[in-house]
Structure 1
Amino acid sequence: MIGSIRTLFNSITIKIILGITILLFILTGIGSYVINDHKDYIAKVNGQKITNTEFDQAFNDEIDHQQQILGDNFKYIIKNDFYLNKIRQQALMYLVDKSLLSNYANNLNLRISDDQLKQVIFNQQYFQINGKFDNTQYKNVINKIGLTVDQYIELLRKELSIQQLVNIIVNSDFILPGEIKKLANLIFQKRSIRKATINVNKLEKQQNTTDDEIEQYYRQYKDRFMIPEKFRISYIKLNADNIKTIVNESDIKNWYNNNKFKYNISGRNHYKIIQTKTENDAKYVLDKLKSGMPFSELAKKISVDPISAQKGGDIGWIKFADIPKEIKNSHLNKKGQISDIIKLSKGFLIVYLEDTIPNKSTPLSKVHDNILNQIKKENIQNIFDKLNKKISITALNNRDSLKDVEIATGSKIVKTNWFSIDNMPKEIDYSAIMDILYKGNISTGINSDVIKLDDYHSIVIHIDEHKQKEIKPIKQVKLQIITMLKKDKAKQQAKLQANQLINAMDTQKELNIAGIPLTKSKIISRNSQDPIDQRAFDLPSPDKGKYSWGIAEDAKGNVVIIMLNKIVPYHVSQDTIENLTKIFIKNNSEIILKTLVSNLSKNAKIKYNL
């Protein structure tokens, strides 16, 4: 669960902190499963299906995200089955956790106002033409993904309500009663274990293989014995490093005036609220406030909003553009003002304006150097783009050779040795070049067009020679296959033996008979980095006079039987709990979110259909 919460925290909470919506997810994939009646699903959360289409979208989004983070190193990681399975698990848990939070947001009656929706929609570049919202463009985009405007609004409202919930939690000291003590007990808990190791290398020496097994393994896993596709190319690189440009002060001033909106700092209001179920309760609150009772004290005692009440009604700072319509209509504009009773769809609200910061603009002097660099960058890019267009014409006019490009650029042709996707020369190790080569966009003996590597660098390549991938002959890999087969057989035998032993009536006695000794008892803590110790913390607490057994694998590939003797309790002092609470509130929004989702998960009906 911790891994999935980390994924949820990174992919939702961080986006909220940065002010980014999840609109792109809706635009790129959600339409296909909203309007289609999918009978297949991968999980149900409180009766609500998570379809395979949703899962595929979440998985693909995470793959794209990882590719952006890892860059060219992604090509090595994507081949790892363990890595892919982990992403699949995280994608599924992300969707489950997201569904739990959506239900919780509904139960709390968190609502996204029409003004908030409009603000988000108007600011999306997908719906803009020349930097301004265009209604026709908006409808066209929605129609293209197979949604009606009403369907899209409902989906966006749901996504934003989740963001609102997480944002409230991240920016508050929201702690569920008793959860800090439970977390403290889990964090400081220790366990007493013993281990018995089945030596896989020893079993490997006892294994035999047949020619039929070798042949079958060779056919089944032929991709493991491929000689990769190889290339030998020539290339000429272009760069903008030597391009110089002059920027006048008048240019900087004009840029500032034309883009002044970028330097506006939005004003904000700091609010406190008291929410009541009935109008009479709201009237009672107003009377108490008029008699001089502090707002925060009343909020803690009376407000039915479980999150803000704990903070004395504090809901934090809200930008002018994001203020909910209900609060905006109360026309609070001076520090210390209290609203009249505001009727909500469910319940009533009284708002207190704690503080306010007006709109203001950043002066030119503060952003002068940034604008100077921006104009220089644009000028250099424009000059470089013109150079690229000129070289593109030269490269394509005579595609048989780079000689004309060499003359036009004044740069020497560079030739490579043979290379494959796994050992591309550092100078040309770019995904853009890889795509050109391995997607067959150009033929041997032909120039490419100009390939843009980044804003300041590009390249033209010429494929000199090309070798298709091929399978190594079985004779060449026979010894390798024998080793793999023996290792697989040995590991299967070790796992089978381990399962038989832990399911025996007397596991310790059977271990002695098998000559597999148990180590002495060892006390381990949860912060251990040993994967075997981590596995021990997944085992259920043993019953009195009994043991819990589990199986793990050590770094050498041996199968390890874990014997959990007992849980070593830790007495959590009140001082420790108070200190942990302060730490969690200040630095551990992720843990707070984990606590909430864990609690929601315990009370939810979750069914997996894997």
Structure 2
Amino acid sequence: MLQTFRDNLKGTMAVFIVGLMIVPFALFGIDSLFLQDTSAGKAAEVNGEAISEMELTRAVRIQKQQLLERFGEQAPADLISDEQLRPPVLTRLMNRELLKQAAEDGGMAISDADINQIIINTPQFQQDGVFNAELYTLLLRNMGYTPASYKKVLVEDLLVNQHASGLNASAFATEGDLKALTAITQQTRSFYYVTLPYETAAQQVTVSDDEISAYYDDHQAQFMRPEQVSVEYIELSLDNLAAQKDVDPEVVKAQYEQEVANFEASIQRHAAHILIESGDGAEAKIATVAERLKAGDDFSAIAKDLSDDIGSSNSGGDVGTTDGSSFPQSFETALAELSVGEVSGPVETDAGTHFIKLLAIEEGQPPTFEEARSGIEEHLARASAESTFVEILDELPDATYNTASLKDAADSLGLEVKTSKLFGRRGGPGLLSNNQVLAEVFSDDVLHEGLASPVIEISDNHVVVVKLKEHHEAEVKPLDEVQDEVKDIVTRDKVAVILNDQANELLAKLNQGSQLEALASDLGLDWQVKADARRNDQNIDRELLAHLFNLPKPQPSDAVNTSLPLQNGDVVVAQLTVVKPGTLPDMDQAQLLALKQRLSQELGGQELATYQKALNESADIEIY
């Protein structure tokens, strides 16, 4: 029925029916009289407008769902906790409220007709391509909305998006902006530098046992072993049970024979058509097609010359295959009556008049036993495992409740008890990284009371029960275990002092007018020079390059001298000598326009952020 309705929903009738569908939306607001008031309990107030706890709770739930969809079971538990999500979500709601208020103050509005049309055209609210009021109401209730409250949120979202988009799109970039940006981003810098190597200085350093002990005693927080646990667990999985099931070959053979007996061959008909759409001149075109077919003209040539279906006319009218449900019923009926190569007379549908040709018939064949065997075996094994899964799942809570060891429970249920290696609160391998499992492992009942967890549902067909095996509190690692690490730290600290002293001595001489090349030669070090380096130069250490591009521009006769310790322990002494502004490369008008548009988008984003900041600073906001 719905398919027929969709097939006939065309032209003037479509407009009429859609118009009728819009009317009930004006009545949906009555639901709010019978459902909970969403304004009860304030989370915050923005310029006198309340953000309710229910709004905040709903927004937190939606944000959590989005994170779970993005990260799946690997989403860190602390990332998706309500406590962690609440502050940023509330800030986003307050920013949204400020933009909405500014839009309303500016006279912006959305008409009811536009809102209703948006709702009707939303795919999630449609069934078989047509808006379904029952589905719409059901989905809203699942999200905690009434039709009235949903329309209110939708209006607000559209206002906020229009306002933000308008601000963003109002930004523009001039050629002067491009030149200014290019002068900075394409800037080049020339400099000399010398590296004071870590390894050379480290050879001069000795570290005593007393120094190691002293550093260890003073910095024990650096050498903590995190809290760790080991658990035993019982895993019940339908997939595992099915994999263990043996299937009788005779049963497999019997099932195959039954399926062959029940097999209904599907017939696929390959069709082509010539379509003449209704309208002025249609009757003359239909007559011409009929005459040319009667005269024996090639069907493909006629389709190319006269068919109004531009999607198939150039391919001889070929519209592909159908199992009897792809085309309107009159089309399918006429096609089913044709022999291969035969052409029908005129066939009427809503699209117009068709001349249909049957190109070929393909009849499906049942699979061979070898082709079907693995699928049948898997199906039978899974069917057998499902009943076993249900039986064990029913017994599992009682078997594991208040048990001293999961082994007895596992033995009684015919399952295996597994024991994990030590792992921390970030999780262990496999299912021990699942957030639900981790929450139970580190719950008071399991971690401190020694109880087995309740049955944890990983999925519909996969559950697990965990029980603590070992628990090691966070503790300081013994000195013997970290001695090499401590020695390396003390060594690096001593080397840093030596290299910094050398760097400061070199800087002092450079500031007095000495040349870096001469100073490097005196120390037996290699010096380097780089002319016209860019910000993205791949041949220069990234730390050094970033540091040099943050320095002020040197005066014509006075270089800028600097030093920088690197992550690898080396220290670099450098002399920045020349800074040249970047210039726009030669571009045609299309390239220049594209660059301006990209810059405009960036400027628009910055202006919107500035506008949002100004709204926040001038707003009266109270958080409860």
For normalisation by structure 2, the TM-score amounts to 0.46
TM-score normalised by length of structure 1: 0.47
Is the radius of gyration larger for structure 1 or structure 2?
A: 2
